[in-house]
Amino acid sequence: MLQIKNLHVSIKGKEILKGVNLDINKGEVHAIMGPNGTGKSTLASVIAGKELFEVTEGSITYNGKDLLAMPIEDRAREGIFIGFQYPVEIPGVSITNFMKTALEEIRLYRGLPPLTELEFRKLMKEKAKIVELTEKLSNRSVNEGFSGGEKKRNEIFQMAMLEPSLSILDETDSGLDIDALRIVANGVNQLKSPDNATVVITHYQRLLDYIVPDFVHVLFDGKIVKSGPKELALELEHRGYDWIKEEYEQNLQ
CB of 85 to ligand ATP, least distance (A): 6
String marking each residue 33-62 x if it binds ligand ATP according to CB under 6 A: -x-xxxxxxx---------x----------
- Residue number, 85 or 138, with CB nearest to Mg ion: 85
**Is residue 73 involved in binding another protein (CB under 8 A)?**
yes
Strand locations in the chain (E) = 2-11, 14-24, 29-33, 54-62, 65-66, 80-83, 90-94, 141-142, 166-170, 197-201, 215-220, 223-228
CB of 101 to another protein, least distance (A): 5
- Residue number, 73 or 195, with CB nearest to another protein: 73
**Is residue 222 involved in binding another protein (CB under 8 A)?**
no
Looking at 3-162, list the stretches that DSSP marks H as alpha helix, in order from N- to C-terminal side: 40-48, 72-77, 95-109, 117-130, 135-138, 148-162
Q: Which of these, 232, 195, 226, 227, lies nearest to 212 by C-alpha position?
A: 232
Q: How far is it, in rounded angstroms, from Cα 151 to Cα 251?
A: 40
Could you say which of another protein, Mg ion, ligand ATP, none residue 138 binds, taking C-beta under 5 to 8 angstroms by partner kind? none
Contacting another protein (CB under 8 A), which of 13, 37, 71, 111?
A: 71
Q: Cβ(194)–Cβ(224) under 8 Å?
A: no
> Count of alpha carbons within 13 Å of 185, Cβ hemisphere only?
21
- Residue number, 122 or 239, with CB nearest to ligand ATP: 239
**Is residue 97 involved in binding another protein (CB under 8 A)?**
yes
Amino acid at 161: M
Q: Cβ(103)–Cβ(127) under 8 Å?
A: no
Q: Which of these, 35, 29, 32, lies nearest to 21 by C-alpha position?
A: 32
**Is residue 123 involved in binding another protein (CB under 8 A)?**
no
- Residue number, 38 or 158, with CB nearest to ligand ATP: 38
- Give the count of residues interacting with another protein (CB under 8 A): 33
Q: How far is CA 219 from the centre of its chain?
A: 15
Could you say which of ligand ATP, Mg ion, another protein, none residue 101 binds, taking C-beta under 5 to 8 angstroms by partner kind? another protein
- Residue number, 47 or 188, with CB nearest to ligand ATP: 47
231 burial via Cβ count (<10 Å: 0-12, 13-18, 19+): exposed
Could you say which of another protein, Mg ion, ligand ATP, none residue 100 binds, taking C-beta under 5 to 8 angstroms by partner kind? none
Q: Cβ(190)–Cβ(178) under 8 Å?
A: no
- Residues between 77 and 116 with contacts to ligand ATP, criterion CB under 6 A: 85
Question: 178 - beta bridge partners?
Answer: none
Chain positions contacting another protein, by CB under 8 A: 48-51, 71-73, 75-77, 81-82, 84, 87-93, 97-99, 101-103, 105-106, 109, 141-142, 158, 162
Chain positions contacting ligand ATP, by CB under 6 A: 11-12, 16, 34, 36-42, 52, 85
